């Protein structure tokens, strides 16, 4: 019998404050990015986005929109993307975030060095309907 496939499901959120600025964290591994991480067993995808945002930034959010999915076919990683808005909490760095701040869309895209992270934000900010983007990386 063949082994069952093992996929990684990630949940991430483009968090927009009242000034329409994007919440970014500066992580030790990938630099500036939106909050997100692996969905745990028994956890809903949207709850994971809320939890990861709180763990990495100290900010409590509510999900306001499902945006879409980025699938890295080669690595078997599906990243689910949401738009959220802050509803409480305060900036708090962690071992996953050296710095945290809100930036305009232009500033955010200039700070992020990973092309896939830039594309995720652009898709969440510009597309009206949910999307599926598949790539081999």
- Output the domain CATH number for residue 19: 3.90.79.10
Task: Give the pLDDT of residue 101.
Answer: 98
Q: 40, 75, 99, 122: which is the annotated catalytic residue?
A: 99
DSSP E strands in 28-76: the ranges are 31-33, 36-38, 59-72
Does residue 3 form part of some domain? Answer: no
Q: Which domain holds residue 89?
A: 8-135
Count structural domains, the chain. 1
59 within a domain of the structure (yes/no): yes
Q: Which residue reads 């990938």 in tokens?
A: 30
| pLDDT (tens digit per residue) in 7-57 | 999 999 999 999 999 999 999 999 999 999 999 999 999 999 999 999 999
pLDDT tens for 45-94 read 999 999 999 999 999 999 999 999 999 999 999 999 999 999 999 999 99
Q: Which of 80, 17, 21, 23 is nearest to 47 (CA)?
A: 80
Cβ atoms 29, 114 nearer than 8 A:
no
- Catalytic residue flag (residue 55): no
Domain assignment present for residue 2? The answer is: no
- Counting every residue, how long is the chain? 137
* Residue 109 domain-assigned (yes or no): yes
Residues 23, 17 contacting (CB under 8 angstroms):
yes
């Amino acid at each position: 019998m063949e082994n069952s496939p093992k996929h990684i499901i990630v949940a991430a959120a483009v968090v927009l404050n009242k000034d329409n600025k994007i919440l970014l964290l500066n992580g030790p591994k990938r630099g500036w990015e939106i909050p997100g991480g692996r969905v745990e067993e028994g956890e809903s995808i949207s709850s994971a986005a809320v939890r990861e945002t709180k763990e990495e930034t100290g900010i409590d959010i509510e999900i306001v929109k499902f945006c879409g999915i980025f699938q890295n076919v080669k690595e078997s990683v599906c990243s689910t993307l949401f738009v959220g808005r802050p509803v409480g909490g305060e900036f708090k760095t962690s071992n996953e975030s050296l710095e945290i701040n809100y930036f305009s869309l232009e500033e955010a895209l200039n700070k992020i060095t990973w092309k896939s992270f830039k594309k995720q934000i652009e898709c969440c900010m510009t597309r009206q309907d949910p999307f599926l983007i598949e790539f081999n990386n």
